[in-house]
Amino acid sequence: MVMTGDDRVASLNRSSASADPREGPSTDVGRVRNFWRTVDRVPAGAAISVRPGGRTRNIVVVTGWIAESRILPDGRRQIFAFMLPGDMAAVSESSHVGSRGLVALTNVEIADAAALGRGALDEPVANSLAEAMRRREERLFDHVVRIGRLSAMERVLNLLLELYDRLDAVGLVKDDTFRIPLTQEMFADALGLSVVHINRTLQQLRRKGMLTVGRGAVTLHDRQRLAAFACYESERPAERPLGRCGSMAGG
């Protein structure tokens, strides 16, 4: 798991305006054009905030990863969520230490969601933004469970499975593999563990053949089994076989 930036969306229309490209692959082309005209580039490590003048801003991630996090006065950090290409969010101003903030984990391209509907939020944009907010909140709950009630191994797998599904939805997964620009430290700060323990946990998972990590990419082997082990439930309710999670049938 090495930091390697530049995982830009292969084909534009797959990560277009709609938060969930599956429902309508190619949205209004003119809208997407407008999209690109208002793109902002943010370098890795930089904070994402409203310009001094503005109030609140609805953005869409076009390329790259963003973390939503808080830093405690004594330096401890907690990452609440990762924003991936296609994700929308409302950004308000904040100082970050003590409060929440968005930080670019890679070089990032973001677009103003408002611009998609030229000016005021129009119906479809407002809707997908609302839908995005709903999902974001749901993920936040998942994250609380992860941190509060899962073991280290379960946490790691559970998070990776979520990232898999989300990246898959925007076409960034191929052969059960996706690029992941996170350092083990970021992983640790998201999951409430120490870097060292994240490392050891990944080693274990590797040895058990459950996943492959390295050079900025992750491959999940037998996601079905991993999901059952890590109490992971896919967002779309189609597939849900999990019995009592936590135990490992054969491993």
Residue placing its CB nearer to DNA in the complex, 59 or 205:
205
Name the nearest CA neighbour of 146 among 137, 138, 155. Answer: 155
Q: Does 192 interact with its own copies (rule: CB under 8 A)?
A: yes
Q: Binding to DNA (CB under 7 A): which residues in 138-177?
A: 151-153
Nearer to its own copies, 45 or 98 (CB): 98
Q: Please give the distance of CA 238 from its chain centroid, rounded to a whole number.
A: 21
Would you tell me how many other CB atoms lie within 10 Å of the CB of residue 53? 5
Are 21 and 14 in contact by the 8 Å Cβ rule? The answer is yes
CB of 99 or CB of 203, closer to DNA: 203
Q: What distance lies between CA 37 and its chain's CA centroid?
A: 24
Answer with the entry of DNA, its own copies, none that 183 interacts with (C-beta below 5 to 8 A by kind).
DNA
Specify burial of residue 214 (Cβ count, 10 A radius: 0-12, 13-18, 19+). Answer: exposed
Number of residues that bind DNA (CB under 7 A): 25
Q: Are 9 and 76 in contact (CB under 8 A)?
A: no
Taking CB under 8 A as the criterion, which residues in 71-90 touch its own copies? 72-78, 80
Closer residue to DNA in complex, CB, 190/202 = 202
214 binds DNA (CB under 7 A): yes
Rounded to 5 degrees, what are φ and ψ at 46? -80, 150
Q: Based on CB atoms, which residue is closest to its own copies, 44 or 147?
A: 147
Give the x/- contact pattern for DNA in 215-244, rule: CB under 7 A.
xx----------------------------
By CB under 7 A, residue 192 contacts DNA = yes
Burial of 185 (0-12, 13-18, 19+ CB in 10 A): middle
Name the residue type at position 104. A
Segment 117 to 156, residues that bind its own copies, using CB under 8 A: 137, 140-141, 143-145, 147-149
Going 229 to 232 to 237 to 238, the CA torsion angle's sign is negative
- Give how many residues touch its own copies by CB under 8 A: 31
Interface with its own copies (CB under 8 A): 70, 72-78, 80, 98, 100, 137, 140-141, 143-145, 147-149, 191-192, 231, 233, 240, 242-247
Interface with DNA (CB under 7 A): 1-5, 151-153, 183-185, 192-197, 199-203, 214-216
